Structure 1
């Protein structure tokens, strides 16, 4: 017999799989997903500008990740080291959709005071993928 906890855990896992949040991805697959959600092509230059500019808040993405995020950054408030953001320099980046969404949600609220749109995520990721 299944315990109540096992049934709940199985149901939660099934729900995660159904929504795709537990699936691994490649950065290009994640970019394709954000682009499809946005309904428009991603623009790497717009992503670079979004990344380096402030948006009325205290920080820009570059405040912690660096203007060209190909090496380790440092959190502006805590000083904690941050691995390179560009996938070519940190292969584990943007390989889990749920993790990428979590960090976009958290960091966009700090940088622009709201969640990023799918188009903004697509633009930033498109630019990050150009960094070699």
Structure 2
């Protein structure tokens, strides 16, 4: 009878996995498959129009029929930690110049825009609205 062990329980496999994780550094948990600039370009192409800093700021700071705006959780301006309006959970800075990991994972960007637009606007954001908000956020500098 042959004993088969799970590969992750083999000491050599475990050591190799730990060394590989250490080599990837602290950013290994982030996909980093894109950038804020690439996301802005994607939405501008989809919208067939450039994003507007002014429209983005207005969309971000205004309440849209409910009690919430983007700024309700992310702050005004969104350059430091915010807090979720309901749970109080800390939200890291949203503006890319203040948090370089923002807008670097396409799946997360799409997920959070879908969720947050539904919470604030009660619908999905258009490509132009996303371009506008990101134009505003990219315009915020230290």
Give TM-score scaled by structure 2 length.
0.76
1:59 to 43, 52, 68: 68
- Which of the two has higher C-alpha Rg? 2
Partner of residue 10, structure 1: none
Displacement of 1:23: 7.2
RMSD of the alignment, in Å?
1.1
1:76 corresponds to which residue? 85
Q: Deviation per CA, 1:48-75: give whole Å up to 9, x if none.
A: 0000001102200000001100000000
Q: For residue 47 of structure 1, what is the aligned residue in structure 2?
A: 56
In 2, Cα distance between equivalents of 1:57 and 1:34 = 26
The TM-score with structure 1 as length reference comes to 0.82
Question: Following the alignment from structure 2 to structure 1, what is the Cα–Cα distance between the partners of residues 67 and 96?
Answer: 26
CA drift at 1:81: 0.2
- Unaligned 5+ segments in structure 1 are 1-21
Structure 2: segments with no counterpart, 5+ residues = 1-30
Q: How many residue pairs were aligned?
A: 111
